[in-house]
Amino acid sequence: STIGGLDHLGSCLTSLNLSSNRIQVMGGLCHLRRLETLDLSCNEISAIDDLAALGSLRRLLLSYNRISSLAGLLQSHGGPLEALEAYGNQISLLREAEYLRGLPRLGSLVLFRHGATNPVCGEPGYRARLVSLLPQLRTLDGVATTASR
């Protein structure tokens, strides 16, 4: 299924929880220009998309989906995104973190929590490489990054 019927809420909606709705495609979000928090966790999303118009987005929750790439976050580069949760997905390559480099305010990244993980979390040097690549991070997987520097 897809996201629809939100056009009339664009001028006032700041937080939207669409978790556990069997959503497969991120679409229909372009009118939500004031949206600061978007929860699409526990769905069936395989690709991050339709974020370009969300210029106020600070918190993006995408855990427990079918996401294998972070490339869709290129649409948010330079924006105010501060927190990304994407544990319980299928992200397997460390190079996916390159797509997060254009998010200067990203302070919290969660790819592993409560036993829910991504294949990339088991890669040798996972934590050190992400902290090095993303020096703006304050926490990675719920743990302060200063301890790993």
* Spacing of C-alpha 100 from chain mean position: 9
Judge contact between 70 and 86, C-beta under 8 A. Answer: yes
> pLDDT at residue 34 above 70?
yes
Q: What is the pLDDT of residues 63-120, one digit of tens each?
A: 999 999 999 999 999 999 999 999 999 999 999 999 999 999 999 999 999 999 999 9
Q: Distance between CA 3 and CA 9 in Å, rounded?
A: 13
Q: Distance between CA 7 and CA 93 in Å, rounded?
A: 36
Length of the chain: 149
Average pLDDT, the chain: 92
> pLDDT at residue 37 above 50?
yes
Backbone angles phi, psi at 103, to 5 degrees: -110, 80
Strand order in the sheet with 108-110: 15-17, 37-39, 59-61, 83-85, 108-110, 139-140, 143-144
Q: Distance between CA 117 and CA 109 in Å, rounded?
A: 12
Tokens (6 digits) for 140 = 């990675």
Judge contact between 118 and 110, C-beta under 8 A. Answer: no
Token look-up 């302070």 returns 107
> pLDDT at residue 128 above 50?
yes
DSSP 8-state secondary structure symbol assigned to residue 108? E
Tokens (6 digits) for 32 = 């939500």
* E-assigned strand segments in 28-141: 37-39, 59-61, 83-85, 108-110, 139-140
Residue 149's pLDDT is: 44
Residue 124's pLDDT is: 95
pLDDT, average across residues 19-34: 91
